[in-house]
Structures are given as structure tokens and as C-alpha cells.
Chain A
Amino acid sequence: MLSRTAESLFWMARYIERAEATARLIEMGRRMAMLPGAYGQEEWRSVVAAAGAGAAFGPDDRVGEAEVCRSLILDEDNPSSIRACLDRARNNARAVRTALTADMWEGLNEGWRWLGGVEAETVRRDLPATLDRIRSLSALFRGAAQTSMLRGERYDFLSAGAFLERADMTLRLLDAKYFVLLPETGLLLDNRDRYRWISLLHATSAVRAFHYVYRGDFDPSKIAHFMILNAEFPCSLAFCYGGLRAALIRLANRYGARHDCHATVEKAVRQLQDREMDDIFDEGLHEFLLETLRLNAQLSSELSRAYHF
């Protein structure tokens, strides 16, 4: 396969996941801002920071729902916006039209066209519906890939990109919660903070799944365990690394060659298996998140080097 094709597939998958991740982040901000006693602007600032779009707002700018939605959903000039992500996803898709099935292309193209025509007013009037539509767009694309794409090298690059980006999303969601958590109050969590932890579950559509696995209370350390170490939850870091590892192993078997990225992902998977949530909290959640985000960036560049893109 052309290296350029592999590159485009990898990044297309990343941008589509990123669009979804940003929608989930906004959903989380919306929930946090609605909590009794919420600071409002602080919650939204944390969303902006977690989306990597901190530069879009100055320290004196008003950062409320309307501003954040305009910037993170529709603003083409903000490279972190959902519209910008879908633009890039579609450009990548256009460059590798032949590597996509018609179902995948049509799903993406239709979503791109829809978002292109959405007005700020529509978003303001019905934010939840807009966010739902963005999430269903990536779900549709994933579903199309799942049911229509040959399980060959193209699929492997696509899923490598998707898993890597989803791992990023989970880390960012956790980080967004972290930003408003400051100052850390140790184990004496007030109700508001507990609700923020729960909004993480809402943002990943995982409330029911959490109950099913953990029963009982919304305990922050259980929620963190669910999002980081639980290998059955498709948004968890452990699950995403597992998926990335599987995709890379398939490529190694296909091509008969292993590279740096293989060693790195193996090590990352092993380390998570040995981790306890308490250790992570002891070392500092924020530091863990930052370190893992750096690891993701390393994986991404090792992977592109290995396959000549």
C-alpha cells in the first residue's frame, strides 16, 4: 500500500475520533456547568483547555457555553474545532478515495456537508441535538468501516489511528475534570466534585455500563479505574492500547517486520496491566495524564516512521 494512503487513513481516523471527542468534551462541560454551585466560566475554560484550544480565548474573554460552542464546533479558523477536524478528515478521505468503501465515504461526506450548513443559531438553540448528531456521524463512519471494509492493512492503519486518538480523548476528558478539581481536596470530596466525576461517565455514554461493572456508588477511584484500567470499556485507556497493539501486531505479521512502535505499545500495555488505581492517585493523576499523552505522541511518530510517512 502507498505510504501516503496509510498516512491519510491513519489521520482521517484520528480526526473523526477527535471530532467526536470534542463533542463529548462539550457535553461534559455542559453538564458540569449545570451543576448547582458551578462556577460556569471555570468549567468551560477547562473544556477549552482539554480540547487543546486554550489559545482561542484570552484571560479576560468571556468563556461561556455560547462562546465555547461557537469556537469549538463551528470556527474553521480554530484548528481544534469540530468543523476543522471534519474538514481535515474529509480532505484525507478525498486523497484516498479508493481506499475507502462507498459506505464510509458517503457517511463522512454527508456529515461534513451537514456540519458545513449548520448555523451558530441552530447550535445555540439545540446544543444537545447538535452534539448527538456529531457523535452519530462518527458512529456511522465507524459502523461503515466495521461492516464494509476488508480486514487488510488499510483497516489496520485506520484502527491504529482511531484507537490512538480515542486514548487521547479519554485522557483529555479526565484532564478537563482535573482542571476544575483544583485545588485538590484529597479524599474529602464534596458533592459537586462527585457530580463532576459522574459527568465523565455521561460524556462517554457509560453510566449504565459503569453500574453493570462496579455496582454501588459513583466512587471517584472506581470511575477513574473504569476510564483508565478497565480493559472491557471501549473508551478506557487499557482498551484503546489493547486495540492499538492488536492493529500493530497485525501489521507486523502482514509485513513480517517489527518496529519501535511495536516495542513501545507492548510496554505501554504491560505497564497498565501492572498498575493499581491507588498508585496512580498517589503519584498524581495529572502527572499520569500528561505522561501518557506524551507517550501517545511518541507512538504516533514511531508509527509514521515505521511505515514511511
Chain B
Amino acid sequence: MFDEMTGDGHGLRAPYKDIAAWIEASGLDTLHRHTAEAEAVFRRIGITFAVYGEGGDPERLIPFDLIPRVFAADEWRRLERGIRQRALALNAFLQDIYHRGEILRAGIVPERLVYRNAAFEPAMIGVDPPGRVYSHVVGIDIVRTGEREFQVLEDNCRTPSGVSYMLENRETMMRTCPELFRSGNVEPVDVYPEELRRTLEEVAPPACSGDPVIALLTPGPFNSAYYEHSFLADLMGIELVEPQDLFVDEGLCWMRTTQGPQRVDVLYRRIDDAFLDPLSFRPDSMLGVPGLFDVYRAGGVTLCSAPGSGIADDKEVYVYVPEMIRFYLGQEPILQNVPTWRCSNDEERAYVLERLDELVVKEVHGSGGYGMLIGPHSTAAERAEFAEKIRRDPETYIAQPTLELSSSPSLGEAGIAGRHVDFRPYCLIGRTIRLVPGGLTRVALREGSLVVNSSQGGGVKDTWVLAE
């Protein structure tokens, strides 16, 4: 197993030199005290996370682990190229399937997978979003299994969340452990909101002359990511609107203000497709802004991300992303996929059913670590249950090998120990591509656990990219 700090478990990797010295000099008591201070900061400013369907504290904290995760400059250079490449290919794929569908005609991606996918949005066929951008914020979940082995676990093309943790984790680290930053060697991440605003401005609709008015569309305070919505709106200096604040008139989108209606040009929406517009997507829904989609299609407002972007992060479509990179960009993928077996395929399903005890089985449309089987950690009864589910409904499942995710030193009650981590950078796509050097590192705080999702007891860490 690869450890971010020690490599094989015995040495000390160069990027962690300062961290190791700091751990040594601080001692456990000081680190525990800093952790308590950091948590007090989080709670005071109200960075909380609500988990649907679970009892207990409705506004609990995501545990924060004090020990940063570090990338060296050259590691980041390679990651960055891979991330940009992937984000470009995913957008090219969306543009293609909602127009001529060349990749389907070429027989590279099966038509069934696209046209019969619930995430495919027929209403988007032939629509040209400004700049031909569909997914403006692409969150790519990356795991590491060795010194040079980075693999993409999944893509998030709709409305990936968590970037507020990237920003607040850094802010909190700088507040509680300023001595760590004195060398000035850590690339700052606090430009993210500004970069996001620029990205959104670049995709203003044709109907907008002058400076575009941008707003962030949230489902409201009861959404689990509401804190992030308000945080980003605040840092970008834009209005945080709920569907009830918006209406459509004369082919444009307006928000209700104290002085009457004001026009909105770009909506950074953090609300699902289904709840955007009851007229177009979900007639039974009371939520949403009636007529919004028609205004979007006519170029009166830009929706970021575009409706129907979710098809690009479908877990089965994922299998074809390396092919997309070759097809649209004519390049070899820099970041590899994790080998994936599709249970919809007879041969692959047979393979999966034989090896349930060593594979990870996931629902194609699931997210957040729910509905997942981790073979090596499962009981015979659980495996039998999953085998039954797979046979009954093969198209719903994929399987991947159980990866030895890299571990990163983390602070527990008993001391410092390696815990498994993943990494999510946030790539911004407007007329240009922007990537802030950093991202969100999630950590599985339970010993041996491979599930880093915050809904399943995962925590977060500050993530450093070192300057050259």
C-alpha cells in the first residue's frame, strides 16, 4: 500500500518534509488542541452538513483532519494536464451527443447507453449553449495507488459540491497553524470564487449586452449543501436565489427584488435538472421556475451546468471516457480509468458474480457511497443479496477491483496513523479552462475503511500543491 508521506512505509517523501518536521515539533497534544480550535471555528461559522434520512444532529460537522495532504509541483503538473484533458473531452462528448452523435455513429459508445439513459435529456438536442460548454464545473474524483499511479474513480459533471471545504480548510489551517505557511511554499487556492465568477461571465447568453448579472440558484436552506451555496454566492458577490425568487417574462429570466423585477443572465444552478422547470422537466413538481428552459433554449439566460449534463458522469458512460479523449482530442489519456466491469454485459457479469468477494460493486446511478458492496469487507449474506440484485437488474450495476487507495497520515485519538484518501479537484470551463492548484481531499477516518464519503463517516483535509 502506498502512503503519501512515507511511500513504502519506511521513508519520508520529499513533499512531506515540512509536515513531518511540524508533526515532530508540535507533539500530539498540540495537534489535538489545534484540531479542537479548528472544529470550534467550523462550528462557529456554521459549516455544517446535513445528511438526508439520518437522525441525530441535523447540522453536524464533517470531521476535519489537521494534517494536510501534499502534492509536489511536478505531481500536480501531471494531474493538471490530465484533469483539463478529461474536462474538455467530457464537454466535447456532451456537445456531440446532443448534436450529430459522431461517437455513436463511429460505434465507440453504444447508442443504447446514451439514448436509453435516464440522464439523457431529449429537450437538449440541437441546443447550443454559449461557448459550447455544458458542464462548467467538473469535479473529478481521483485516487492514487502508487508513486505514479493516479486513477479516476468517477466524474461529476452536474453540480459537484465540496469546494467550500477546499477554501475553508485552507483558511482554518492558516488561522490555527500559521507557522506551517511561513515558508510561502504552498500555492494559494482562495482565487477560486473569482475564477468561477469569470467563468460564468464568459458564458453569458446572446441576449445579454453589458455586464452579465449572475445568480446562484439554490434549492434553499434545507439542502445539505446550502452552506456552500451561500458561501460561494457571498464570495462572488452575487445573489443567492431560490426558485420562488425567479420568474420568466418576455423571453427573459427575472428575479423579484425590493424595486421590482431585475434581469438575470447567468444562473449557476445548484439544483437538479428535475427541479429547474416544471413545464419542461417534471410536471408534478411544485418546485422550479416555469418556462425557464424555454428562455434558456432561446438564449435568454445561461444555465450552468446545462440540463442533461449528467449523462457524462453516468458510471457506465465513465467506462468510455478514455475513448472519448482519443476520439475528440486525438490524445492518449493522461489519467487512467479504474478497470470496470459492466454487469449489463453477459461475460462481464459472469466474471463479477464469481468474484464478488474481491470486487467493489456500485449502482450506476447511485452517489454518496450508498448502495455499494465492498467485497473484501462484506459478509456472505451481503454478497448473496447483491448477487440476487445483479441478476435481477444487471444494467444497474458495475464492478471495479477493490483498490488499495493511498493512505495519508491522519490524527486519531491514539495518535497518527495512515488513513485512506481520495482527491477531488474542481476544473472550471468557460471560454478558457481554469484550474486552481488544489482541491478537496476526503479521508476515511475509520481504520481500514475505504469509503471517504462524508455521509459515511469520512472527513476532510487541507490539500497542498507545493510551488516549484
Contact = CB atoms under 8 A, between A and B. Distances in A.
Interface of A: 1-6, 91, 94-98, 102, 105-106, 109-110, 113, 153, 157, 251, 255, 257, 307-309
B233 interface: yes
A3 B261 CA distance: 10
Nearest to A106: B44
B438 to A, nearest CB: 22
B220 A105 contact: no
Interface string B250-261: 000001111110
B201 interface: no
21 contacts: A1-B259, A2-B241, A2-B256, A2-B257, A2-B258, A3-B258, A4-B244, A4-B245, A4-B256, A94-B230, A97-B240, A98-B240, A105-B46, A106-B45, A109-B44, A109-B46, A113-B43, A255-B259, A308-B256, A308-B257, A308-B260
Interface string B200-228: 00000000000000000000110000110
B258 A95 contact: no
Contacts of A4: 242, 244-245, 256
Q: How large is the interface on B (under 10, 10 to 19, 20 to 34, 35 or more residues)?
A: 20 to 34
B39 to A, nearest CB: 13
B195 interface: no
Contact of B257 (A1, A94, A106): A1
Query: Interface on chain B toward A: helix, strand, loop, or mixed SS?
Result: mixed
Nearest to A257: B259
Nearest to B239: A2
Contacts of B230: 94, 97-98
Interface in B10-61: 43-46
Nearest to B240: A98
B75 interface: no
Interface in B252-275: 255-260
Interface of B: 43-46, 220-221, 226-227, 230-231, 233-234, 239-242, 244-245, 255-260
Contacts of A255: 258-259
A250 to B, nearest CB: 12
Contact of A153 (B227, B239, B245, B258): B258
Nearest to B221: A94
A292 to B, nearest CB: 27
Given A113-B43, A308-B260, A98 B255 contact: no
A96 B258 CA distance: 15
B226 A94 contact: yes
Contacts of A98: 230, 233-234, 239-240
A6 B221 contact: no
Given A96-B240, A106-B45, 9 more contacts: A2-B239, A2-B256, A6-B258, A95-B221, A109-B44, A113-B43, A257-B259, A308-B257, A308-B258
Contacts of B242: 4
A153 to B, nearest CB: 7
A307 B258 contact: yes
B220 to A, nearest CB: 7
A78 to B, nearest CB: 21
Nearest to B241: A2
Contact of A3 (B221, B233, B256): B256
A259 to B, nearest CB: 11
Contacts of A102: 45
Among A6, A95, A106, chain B packs the most CB atoms within 10 A around the CB of A95
A211 B363 CA distance: 75
A305 B324 CA distance: 55
A308 B257 CA distance: 7
B288 to A, nearest CB: 16
Given A97-B234, A105-B45, A3 B240 contact: no
A60 B255 CA distance: 52
A122 to B, nearest CB: 21
A160 to B, nearest CB: 12
B200 to A, nearest CB: 16
B368 to A, nearest CB: 23
Contacts of B45: 102, 105-106, 109
A256 B240 CA distance: 25
A34 B234 CA distance: 50
Among A97, A98, A105, A157, chain B packs the most CB atoms within 10 A around the CB of A98
